[in-house]
Amino acid sequence: MVNECNITPILEHYGYMVDLYGLANRLREALELVETMHMAPNVVIWVSLMAACRIHGKRWENVGEVRQLMKHKGIWKERGHSKIEMDNEIHEFLTADKSHKHADDIYGKLAEVVCKLKQVGYAPNTSVVLIDVDEDEKKDMVLLHSEKLVLCYGLLRSNNGSPIHIIKNLRICEDCHNFMKLASKVFEREIVVRDRTRFHHYRDGSCSCKDYW
Comparing 36 with 83, the larger pLDDT belongs to: 83
- 164, containing H or E segment: strand 164-168
Of the chain, the end-to-end C-alpha distance in Å amounts to 27
pTM for the full predicted model = 0.76
Q: pLDDT tens, 113-156?
A: 999 999 999 999 988 776 767 888 888 999 999 999 999 999 99
Q: How many residues are listed for the chain in this entry?
A: 213
What pLDDT does residue 56 have? 64
Q: How far is CA 58 from CA 22, 82, 127, 139, 209, in A?
A: 14, 26, 10, 19, 20
